[in-house]
Structure 1
Amino acid sequence: YKPSESKIYFASNFEIKIRYDKPSKLTSSSSYDLVIISPKEFAEELNKLVEHKNSHGVRTFLKTTDEIYSSYPGRDKPEQIKYFIKDAIENYGIKYVMLVGGVKSIIYSKPRDHANYGEKGWYLPVRYSNLIADEPGYLCDLYYADIYRAGGEFDDWDSNGNGIFAEWSDVEGEPEDMLDLYPDVAVGRLACTSLKELKTVIEKIINYENNPFDEFKRILVVSGDGFLDQKDLDIRWDTKSLPNGKYTIYAQSMNAEGELGPIDKIEITIDKTKKTSLHFNHDDHLNPALKNGYPAPPIAEIVSVSNGDVLGKDDYVYVPSESEAYCNELFWWANVTYIDGVLYIRGKSYDPKPYGNLTSIHVWVENENGSVVFEDWRNNTEMYYEGEW
């Protein structure tokens, strides 16, 4: 704006030039592969492991927590350790971090003495997350591996700066932290609860690496948690007004991206003159969509009724065992229930891929003429965290 002329000048277009200089590669007089972090009471025993690792070409050094606490900043001890790891990456080029120390007593130690950490009861402190009320938080050594945010800034896991780490809520408007969660260094922990345990572990590591078997570098080990933390679908089909005859139950799942999976199909008979005959049915492992493994399309599986079953004149209830239906005793997702002419259609809906814990499932029933006599939806059903293959 130019007051003398009473005119406002504006640009109709403009050009921006950005110059980006690649950062120079960090150099140091000494470089290492692995740093071991432990309390000082474990240091003498760990020197044997340091010597062993170096003899195998893994450049290793030991740093005690006492040395870290006296030399590095931080709002608490886990943050001081994390700042040291950052320094070790930038000045020594480390790629691996071994944390040593678990709870001091599995009976008497208090594992969490602050919302953000466990310290007094631990040989080496842990960071806790702060989540919603139903899951108030859990310890997570990923904190020590996630050193940088995108762009290279130190990630303290307290992006909103309110002093509560790894904070998340399912209530809109509540404070939350935005976490990077991508590890910048490999971190593991020997959660030893005593010097005796540590000695045993070190002896086993040294013996294992000094006496490798033929397949030492050719083994793939896969482990994981159980999968069936499935909520009860609780779909209720009232058959009292329906005539005797043959019916087909269909189920199809859809994931968050709108992808539809294969249709599960169960053929049954309604005959109120006969005895009820129902059977638990858990066979999604035979689904052709899963023959090539994972990831795969979203899967629907009806378990509360089987092909050839009869909905008759009798009530029927069957509670599968844990060996038949994992976690059923927690969520009752697999119970077979037919009471007063109402069949409770239960089963699973899941999306077998990373972070595929949410699906919607459509269940419908057709008579012999192909007419839909019943249908229901369950939207955004959650297979809990184990759905994240």
Structure 2
Amino acid sequence: MHVIIKRLIRRSTDERGAAGTIFAVLLGFGVILALATLVVDVGQILTEKRVLQNSADAASLALGQRCAKNLSNCSTSATATNGAAPTIATIVNGNSPDNASKVDTICGYAYRSGSAGSNGLSSCNALTTKDYDCDTNLQSPTFQFARIYTSTKTKSGGGALTMYFAKALSGGATYANGVTVHSCSQVYWGAETSTSEVKLPIAISVCNYLNLGFSSMYPDSSATCTNKRTLSGATVSGTRTGVVGFWCSGVRCPTWTDQSCATSHSMAIGDVLEYVTPTSTKALCTGLTNKIRDALFAQRDQTLTIPVYKDIPSATAGSAVEVVSFARFTLSAFAMNNTLYKGTTYVASDYASWKPNTCINLCIAGKFSSQLSVGGQLDSTGTVPNLGLQVLRLVP
């Protein structure tokens, strides 16, 4: 028993290992402290990355809207000083908490019409494998797009974040110049491939659209649309065919249940429409001409979505056309049976060459415009003629 007690006493007074425990605790505390300080620096980098990305996204969306709505405002100089519109740098800085970010590059492809066409933006370099570069490889002329690169800019005008703790822990050499954070954002726009806003049973050929002189809105005397270009720069060939009527829901002989077509109808690229030429309406059924007249009358001064077709197989009633695009059209007036039906937006001097009193069948007058949305189905192939009904999309 004495021996056992003696051993217990000796073990209780033995301090070997206590110093090791204290050292381990201190070492662990030092590691935790070092990690905690590094978290501060890493958090600063991540916050800067998020700010730069948000700023770049806002700027690319703004630039994409400018280019899609009016290509004359889409150029390197215009993006810097676009009249009353904020500059791209202002948009980027305005979305930064410290009102300081650097715009490194603005590039992309935005077709501007001309004899040969031109790019309203500086061409982009090929994407890299750098972690901050954009992921989606948008290439011209298939896509119209805008890409913006931004990077760190401090209030003092510097281009790097100071890594106080990482610099101290690394001995000062590795992070002596700080860390520069980068971001990339891009948007692309193009024709919308479906719509639920078709209200009138009328359609036009793509060549009819392209043969209009948009400065005066007068019809072009050209018989074909060869070498005519869409808003995306694509060329379309074919022959003008004028305006035709098609069967929308309820537009069937002998009755038309929705005479004003006030209910919007859905339609998509590739849909096939049975059509009737204006000269055939009287022969199809009694009263159809008057019903079309009433529908047009109800939609005067309204901006409408009109299906655009590429070609007509034949001139006989009951034939079919394929929808290849959509256009936005403000209907100012129309004429039937030598009679003019005008709205408040109709100004005779705008259509000086138009003679509605000689329009036996159906003639319409108005102006085309563009519509841009961030929703909707966007053409991802670059093959749909861009005639004004457009979608803008932010992509990685």
Q: TM-score range by the shorter chain?
A: under 0.3
Higher helix share: 2
Structure index of larger Rg: 2
Higher strand share: 2
TM-score using structure 2 length: 0.25
TM-score using structure 1 length: 0.26
Greater RCO, 1 or 2 (C-alpha within 8 Å, sep 6+)? 2
